[in-house]
């Protein structure tokens, strides 16, 4: 096999073949590289794309990066069906088979210990979002024309009219009520997320609480309150999913999202 070696994951030896039509990065089918009690799942990739210099440039190209990440994930997903892989970072590349074997030999003890811990487990992700709400309507009886004083002298709804002291007090009262309502909504959402996490943790052997997603990056509507990963035995996965589904009906104004089952990225120790 010529070209550089792209490593998707390290596994225990597994007998079930991967799908014959499966292709990975650069359109190349993955192969198994056996070394002792470990298997590296690898593919051949061209130097003109994956040598250090070109790779660094490609990582700034979002289209290339997205296509590569999808091809990488396709292989990991196929592995997750037949075994419990230890996924490596995107674009983990070695010069040749010898370099991959040396890596497995150097880290054999850590790999075997981690694979034993992940054997028979999968990762599920659960996110809770506070649904976006419509902005409050304008105060009744006031004009909705924007821009302050227009050519005709019309005032906006937020601008109290001269001589109407009550309108200023009403505006401040409305603002206080809106802030209080927002705070109470947020407290309810946090309490719901806390109870959900405690319930789901009962099915998990380990958990990770990730930082809330930035909606500007994820483009998911609403505010992310809970962003958690759960290491769940395959035998408990059905009950785990059923609990999430039941909980969705108990969360008015909130959105609960379940993803998985995944390879155990959050628990691999590989910063995958």
Question: Bigger pLDDT: 257 or 182?
Answer: 257
pLDDT tens track for 133-154: 655 444 444 433 344 434 444 4
Q: What is the mean pLDDT of the chain?
A: 85
pLDDT at 155 over 50: no
- Go through the domains of the chain in sequence order and give each one's CATH number: 4-119 (no CATH), 122-134+178-267 (3.30.70.260)
pLDDT tens track for 55-78: 999 999 999 999 999 999 999 999
Question: For 197-224, what is the mean pLDDT?
Answer: 89
Q: What is the pLDDT of residue 147?
A: 40
- Banded model confidence at residue 164, pLDDT cuts 50, 70, 90: low
pLDDT at 84 over 80: yes
Q: What is the pLDDT of residue 216?
A: 73
Q: Which residues partner with 32 through β-bridges? A: 41
Q: What is the pLDDT of residue 24?
A: 96
Q: How many CA atoms, within 13 angstroms, populate the side-chain half-sphere of residue 32?
A: 16
The whole-model pTM stands at 0.76
Output b/e per residue, 168-181; b: 16+ Cβ within 10 A. Answer: eeebeeeeeeeeee
Most confident of 94-108, 160-174, 208-222, 245-259: 94-108
């Amino acid at each position: 096999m010529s070209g550089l070696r792209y490593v998707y994951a390290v596994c225990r030896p597994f007998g079930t073949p991967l799908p014959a039509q499966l292709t990975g990065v650069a359109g190349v089918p993955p192969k198994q590289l056996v070394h002792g009690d470990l298997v590296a799942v690898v593919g051949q990739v061209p130097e003109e794309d994956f040598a250090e210099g070109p790779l660094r440039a490609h990582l700034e190209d979002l289209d290339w990066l997205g296509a590569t990440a999808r091809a990488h994930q396709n292989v990991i997903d196929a592995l997750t069906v037949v075994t419990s892989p230890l996924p490596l970072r995107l674009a983990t590349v070695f010069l040749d088979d010898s370099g991959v074997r040396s890596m497995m030999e150097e880290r054999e003890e850590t790999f075997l210990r981690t694979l034993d811990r992940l054997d028979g487990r999968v990762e599920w992700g659960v996110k809770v979002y506070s649904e976006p709400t419509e902005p409050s309507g304008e105060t009744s009886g006031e004009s909705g024309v924007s821009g302050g004083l227009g050519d005709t002298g019309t005032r906006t709804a937020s601008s109290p009219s001269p001589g109407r002291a009550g309108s200023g007090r009403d505006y401040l009262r409305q603002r206080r009520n809106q802030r209080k309502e927002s705070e109470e909504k947020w407290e309810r959402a946090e309490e719901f997320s806390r109870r959900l996490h405690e319930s789901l943790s009962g099915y998990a052997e380990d958990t990770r609480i990730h930082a809330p997603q930035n909606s500007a990056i994820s483009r998911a509507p609403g505010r992310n309150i809970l962003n958690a990963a759960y290491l769940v035995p395959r035998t408990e996965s059905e009950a785990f999913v059923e609990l999430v589904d039941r909980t969705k009906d108990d969360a008015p104004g909130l959105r609960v999202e379940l993803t998985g089952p995944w390879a155990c990225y959050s628990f691999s120790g590989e910063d995958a």
